[in-house]
Amino acid sequence: MELQANVTALAYLVAAVLFILALRGLSSPETARAGNAMGMLGMVVAVATTILSPQIESYTWILVAVAIGGAIGLVIASRIAMTAMPQLVAAFHSLVGLAAVLVAGAAYSSPAAFGLLDSAGGIFISSRVEMSLGAMIGAITFSGSIIAFTKLQGLVSGRPLIFVGQHWLNALLGLVALALVCYFCVDQSAWVFWGLVALAFVLGFLLIIPIGGADMPVVVSMLNSYSGWAAAGIGFTLHNNALIVTGALVGSSGAILSYIMCRAMNRSFVSVILGGFGGDSAAAVGSSIEERPVKQGSAEDAAFIMKNAGSVIIVPGYGMAVAQAQHALREMVDDLKKAGVKVSYAIHPVAGRMPGHMNVLLAEANVSYDEVFELEDINSEFSQADVAFVIGANDVTNPAAKTDPASPIFGMPILDVDRAKTVLFVKRGMSAGYAGVQNELFFKDNTMMLFGDAKKMVESIARAMD
């Protein structure tokens, strides 16, 4: 028995190490696939170790559950459009959260099966704290991710939903939840545990509704982090080191991504969580200056300018994803390269709705990853570029972030597209960006606006170049 426990613990350690190597592999696209294989191997080791343990007596239902779940997962993974990746990840987070709640619930209702009973027949105090925290964070992750999913999928408006006293209500509910965790240590009645779970579901819902669509990169990262902490909480309950280590890895990964996203918007994490950004108050700022004239161009003009340029830098944004323009864009770039133009892509960290969103879309469109650059690596090159071609991005190029201390986006790092000799701006209309601020760039002499759907526009430009 002792020997078996040791072997089991060692196998879980191996799984944990394989998971670390899976993340390590992502340091470069060359090693990433091998890393993913390590992750799968780690999962096989962890699951096999558990299945072979004497606690598992009957396999039928487990096989049924794995078969159904696995089939659903594989079908979704093979069909999902790359543009829909943010909502898929949000949906997956919700499943981890719900699974954490269910496992905590199972441990609560059958503590003996998990070895959590003390000599008096109650659940260990430490286990009560761990399972209630795991269930609470899991429930917040679940309902929060559902809301994030509905916003990203466009099922509900991406606008922040704000009401009076919102933050006080959330703070109150959070305190009540923590009080219930404490009370659960004294009284292990069912109402305390399930009451806490219900309260946490409501809290997750309330926490995410005030956050606007453009802050979703932070929210998705944050929920990623929560799902990790929930898993770690369950790991403590089950005394399973693989789960503790994995939870900690995922928790810190999500936290780091949230931090990177906040830094890229020059916003504090707290201000994102409090929400309300991109609401009506900001929209009023831009309306007064929209009357000024802009220089408008056609697809033929753009084709002429770019074909005669030495170098072009493409700046994609969320609008490119919405219009599904990545493939058409790459075809246009192929034409440019044939004409001898040097083309590279510049990605702002918060372009899109999740970290790295644009990179995946460009990879999908067969753009070589060594032509795609992050903000800090390419920003100095705009001053030597002949053309900056902005497609579906707006606020991340707005010079007001540097020059106008009154602007809501002041201090945000931007791509210096205004330094290029010519700026071509593909846009549906003159509307302001998510921050509700007008972009001064539209009115500059070296800017040409190309109004229209992003996909149709790049297709017409490509045709005009032939």
Partner 1 sequence: MHGDFISQLSIFVMAVFVGYYVVWSVTPALHTPLMAVTNAISSVIVVGALIAAGPEGASLAKTLGFVAVLLASVNIFGGFAVTQRMLAMYKKKK
By CB under 8 A, residue 415 contacts partner 1: no
By CB under 8 A, residue 81 contacts partner 1: no
Q: Which of 124, 121, 57, 439 is nearest to 286 (CA)?
A: 439
- The half-sphere exposure of 175 on its side-chain side, counting CA atoms within 13 A, is 6
Our CB check for partner 1 shows the closer of 237 and 460 to be 237
The residue within the footprint of partner 1, chosen from 83, 87, 96, 277 (CB under 8 A), is 96
By CB under 8 A, residue 238 contacts partner 1: yes
Stretches 42-50, 154-162, 400-408, 418-426: which one binds partner 1 (CB under 8 A)?
42-50
| Residues 109 to 168 in contact with partner 1, rule: CB under 8 A | 109-110, 113-115, 124, 126-127
The residue within the footprint of partner 1, chosen from 200, 209, 219, 220 (CB under 8 A), is 220
Question: Angle at CA 390, nearest 5°, toward 387 and 393?
Answer: 155
The residue within the footprint of partner 1, chosen from 10, 66, 175, 186 (CB under 8 A), is 66
Shortest reach from residue 14's CB to partner 1, in Å: 12
By CB under 8 A, residue 317 contacts partner 1: no
The residue within the footprint of partner 1, chosen from 198, 256, 289, 339 (CB under 8 A), is 256
Pairing of strands 387-391, 447-451: unpaired
Q: Which of 274, 286, 228, 255 is nearest to 430 (CA)?
A: 286
The residue within the footprint of partner 1, chosen from 148, 262, 354, 457 (CB under 8 A), is 354
By CB under 8 A, residue 265 contacts partner 1: no
d(CA 333, CA 338): 9
The residue within the footprint of partner 1, chosen from 10, 51, 186, 198 (CB under 8 A), is 51
Our CB check for partner 1 shows the closer of 10 and 289 to be 10
Catalytic residue among 395, 404, 416, 466: 395
| Residues 3 to 32 in contact with partner 1, rule: CB under 8 A | 15-16, 19-20, 22-24, 26-29, 32
Q: Which residues contact 134 (CB under 8 A, 6 or more apart)?
A: 100, 103, 104, 230, 231, 232, 233, 234, 236, 237
Question: φ and ψ at 218, to 5 degrees?
Answer: -70, -45
Shortest reach from residue 295's CB to partner 1, in Å: 34
d(CA 462, CA 306): 11
Q: What is the DSSP string of 246-312?
A: HHHHHHHHHHHHHHHHHHHHT--HHHHHH--TTSHHHHHHHHTTTTS---B--HHHHHHHHHT-SEE
The residue within the footprint of partner 1, chosen from 252, 268, 308, 384 (CB under 8 A), is 252
Tell me, by CB under 8 A, how many residues bind partner 1: 118
By CB under 8 A, residue 95 contacts partner 1: yes
Confirm whether 418 is a catalytic residue: no
The residue within the footprint of partner 1, chosen from 132, 237, 394, 438 (CB under 8 A), is 237
Question: Which class for 145: exposed (0-12), middle (13-18), buried (19 or more C-beta within 10 A)?
Answer: buried
Q: What is the DSSP string of 334-366?
A: HHHHHTT-EEEEEE-TTSSSSTTHHHHHHHHTT
By CB under 8 A, residue 355 contacts partner 1: yes
The catalytic residues are 395
